[in-house]
Amino acid sequence: MRSFIVSRTVILGAAFAAATTAAACSAGHPDVSSSAQNIVINPGGTENESDVTIQLPTDACVPGASCAKVLGATPSLYVDGVAVSLGGTTRIKPGSHNVAVNGIGWPLTTTAGEHTTVTLPVADTVCTDATLPNVPVTNFGGAFSVANAPCPTVATGSAVGVPSGSSVLYYYAACNASYVVGNPASSYNCAGAYAGYNYYYENAAGTCVSGGAGVAGCTAAQQGAEVSSPGNTALTSAYEAYAPGTITATVNGSTQTLTLNPGDETTFNISLPATSTLPATFATTLTFLDPRANPDATAGTITSSCAGDRSYTIPAATGTPAPLALTAFVNSACTYTLTVGGRTQALTQTAANAISLHRLDVDNVTVTRQDLDGGTYTVVGTYTLNYGGVQVAGPYNTGTGIDVLPGTYEFSLTYTDFDGPQTQTQTLTF
């Protein structure tokens, strides 16, 4: 409320005095008069202002100072879009206002004559790896691994009252418009950053900040440029100042939050889960019903229709091998196929596969001479297998063997003796 003090001074002129005297002597001239006034106004009032001071907790300080909790960066502070200094007093009108701290907004209401002190909360970020699942050993198909999600470097919060910051990424010369590499910075691939260049960005306060050189420097500057956008703030292992309220970090598609009150000194504990979920596995058991006498002419295999998947080759062995218990990850986009003896069998991924294999071993041909001594000698021939009227295996040299799936085959053997080329055929059922 403003009040005004008004004083009035009355000046009596000579003519007015004479007229008054005359009137006292003679009442016959009452209209003869003259007057003049000078008004002086002395105003006064009271302002209805308030003020706010933004400060750190007593054991926190800006970089370069000495205290228990040195901040990773000097906080960027705004009141109603105007930059203010830490610890300074800012006069504001009573009512609603917006405070911005490092890219996050916070509402503040003051009343007339109120002296408000806001002690900013400070927090460091600690990321902890969650326990990862055991990865089973598989023999063919896709290979999967699990890892923990990376520790987030940015949190989000209210953007209300935060002035728009720069999202430009610079290289080589500090914040020089001639050396812009990304606008917005997130569009630039720092993986190809040149080792000899330094990278910079402007924060919301317009300060040119260096991220450093090479890939690491580019990445740091890019993160800083992104943080300078309204509603984003940095998360670091050092203590940082924040606006009161809730900040949210996104980790592997899920959010984790921290609510900060004025003056809090705390830790944002973030759990880093696995980046992916392991698929189920399916089993395949190969049982060998017959002993092996000769080396393999060709080995049985399990292959995938998906490029990049691992194949499996049945190992060579003598005697009757022990059953093979094989495992692979389920992948409905791929078809896994067992191939033995020239025939194929698709493996199901929805149940266990139990497959029995027989063995065909073919020795070199023993030829008996039809002469007086009745002696013998051996020659190397070749053999083939037909299944269903189609040749599925061979020709392979004798003195070898192959695994085969159950069924009826036509076996054909060819060799050459003294009399010339010879062929033998027979039906084999396994």
Instruction: Tokens for 145, please give them.
Output: 């691994």
List pLDDT tens digits, range 60-94. Answer: 999 889 999 999 888 888 899 888 889 999 999 99
List pLDDT tens digits, range 197-228. Answer: 999 988 655 678 888 889 888 887 876 676 56
Q: Which of 68-77, 184-193, 254-263, 407-416 has the lowest mean pLDDT?
A: 184-193
Question: Which pLDDT value is given to residue 166?
Answer: 59
Question: Which pLDDT value is given to residue 204?
Answer: 54
54, 115 in Cβ contact below 8 A? no
Distance CA 310, CA 43 (A): 93
Residues in contact with 263: Cβ distance below 8 Å, sequence separation at least 6, in sequence order: 57, 119, 120, 121
Distance CA 261, CA 388 (A): 80
Distance CA 370, CA 182 (A): 91
* Highest mean pLDDT (candidates 4-18, 29-43, 56-70, 208-222): 56-70
Q: Does 2 have pLDDT greater than 80? A: no
The string of DSSP letters for 186-252 reads GGS-GGG--TT-EEEEE-TTS-EEEEEEHHHHHHHHHHHHHHTSTTEEE--SSBEE--SEEEEEEET
List pLDDT tens digits, range 147-190. Answer: 999 999 899 999 998 877 657 899 988 888 889 988 877 788 88
Question: Which pLDDT value is given to residue 161?
Answer: 87
Strand pairing report for 89-92 and 198-202:
unpaired
Q: Does 23 have pLDDT greater than 60? A: no
Question: Which pLDDT value is given to residue 227?
Answer: 54
Query: What dihedral angle (degrees, nearest 10) is formed by the CA atoms of 332, 337, 338, 339?
Result: 180
Question: Which pLDDT value is given to residue 16?
Answer: 36
How far, CA to CA in Å, does 86 sit from each of 204, 209, 366?
15, 19, 101
Task: Tell how far CA 289 is from the center of its chain.
Answer: 52
Question: Which pLDDT value is given to residue 83?
Answer: 82
- Burial string for 307-337 (b: 16+ CB within 10 Å, else e) reads eebeebebeeeeeebeebebebbebeebebe
H or E segment at 23? helix 14-25
List pLDDT tens digits, range 272-318. Answer: 999 988 999 999 999 999 999 999 999 999 999 999 999 999 999 88
Question: Which pLDDT value is given to residue 47?
Answer: 75
Distance CA 141, CA 306 (A): 8
43 DSSP β-pair partners: 4
Cα radius of gyration rounded to whole Å, the chain: 46
List pLDDT tens digits, range 98-137. Answer: 999 988 999 999 999 999 999 999 999 999 999 999 999 9
Dihedral over Cα of 19, 22, 23, 29: its sign? negative
How far, CA to CA in Å, does 219 sit from each of 86, 127, 178, 182, 206?
28, 19, 20, 12, 19
**Residue 7 pLDDT class (50, 70, 90 cuts):** very low
Task: Tell me phi and psi for residue 214, to 5 degrees.
Answer: 70, -160
Distance CA 242, CA 262 (A): 9
Say what percent of the chain tops pLDDT 90.
Answer: 64
Average pLDDT, the chain: 87
Question: Which pLDDT value is given to residue 252?
Answer: 92
Mean pLDDT of 370-395: 90
Question: Which pLDDT value is given to residue 4?
Answer: 30
Task: Tell me phi and psi for residue 178, to 5 degrees.
Answer: -75, -10
Nearest to 77 by CA among 102, 55, 43: 102
Helix (H, G, I), strand (E, B) or coil at 11: strand
Nearest to 102 by CA among 200, 215, 209: 209
How far, CA to CA in Å, does 289 sit from each of 178, 357, 388?
76, 6, 23
How far, CA to CA in Å, does 151 sit from each of 165, 223, 249?
24, 13, 9
Question: Which pLDDT value is given to residue 314?
Answer: 97
Distance CA 38, CA 58 (A): 60
Strand pairing report for 336-340 and 343-346:
antiparallel
Q: What order of strands is seen across the sheet that includes strand 408-417?
A: 390-397, 382-387, 408-417, 420-429
Q: Which of 357-361, 375-379, 424-428 has the lowest mean pLDDT?
A: 375-379
